Amino acid sequence: MKKLLLFCLVLLCHTTFAAKPKYQYVKISTSKGECIVRLYNETPLHRDNFLKLAKEGYYNGTIFHRVIKDFMIQGGDPDSKNATPKASLGNGGPEYKIPAEFRDSIFHKKGVLAAARDNNPEKASSGSQFYLVQGKVFTDEQLNTVEKNRLKHQIPAYQREIYKTLGGTPHLDRNYTAYGEVVKGIEMIDAIAGVETGEANRPKEDVKMTITVLKKREAKKLEKELKKAETKK
């Protein structure tokens, strides 16, 4: 009986461990649709900070206050909650900054979640403000120009292919920390990027957001769906 009980406990522990998702995910819901973002394990400082704020409801009711078509949509400023149309936005957030977490394998392809920042020499990130990349598709010649004029490194071949097909913002690589990517609902970015904007690139009609963290069960189900979709390609 004791052996059977021990076996059941071991099996239960194994099952629980096996069911743990590989990544953590957040859902960003807006009046222009919703998307699900996978947070990178390779950037733990940014991942954990984003999760903490999302769980606290920090982002709920804030807006995408800066939108530039073919570039990115930016949000995360707590001062944007119920902000007046003429309010100056983009300076709000926690008093702390997050150290840069640049990774050679992480780049600004379309759909990437990255941290906004001010002009500081350490390139440390804002404590809350972020952007989602829309970007554009590049040619080899354009990428060569980016390498020469904006970057201090060559863009790897596999990244170039993605910039030439999916698109992105290569000039931001290793300058701003990217720490996640949209895995479902990338159309939301295009919808928001296409809205009419006014002064300081603020949408004329507020696009409010709600950010929630997917539970482990939801995350595991999503990973199964993504894996199944990938095998069909």
Q: With beta carbons less than 8 A apart as the criterion, state whether 26 and 55 touch.
A: no
CATH 2.30.30.100 fits 24-231, yes or no: no
Q: CA-CA distances (angstroms) from residue 146 to 106, 175, 233? A: 17, 13, 31
Q: With beta carbons less than 8 A apart as the criterion, state whether 210 and 29 touch.
A: yes
Residue count of the chain: 233
DSSP 215: P
Cα 36 to Cα 48: distance, rounded to the nearest angstrom? 17
Q: Can you give the C-alpha Rg of the chain in angstroms?
A: 20
| pLDDT tens column, 103-156 | 999 999 999 999 999 999 999 999 999 999 999 999 999 999 999 999 989 999
Cα 71 to Cα 196: distance, rounded to the nearest angstrom? 15
Extents of the domains making up the chain:
24-231
pTM: 0.91
| pLDDT tens column, 46-91 | 999 999 999 999 999 999 999 999 999 999 999 999 999 989 999 9
Strand partners, 131: 74, 114
Q: Which long-range contacts (CB under 8 A, 24 or more apart) does 193-199 make?
A: 193/67, 193/68, 193/69, 193/70, 193/71, 193/72, 193/73, 193/134, 194/69, 195/32, 195/67, 197/67, 197/68, 199/86
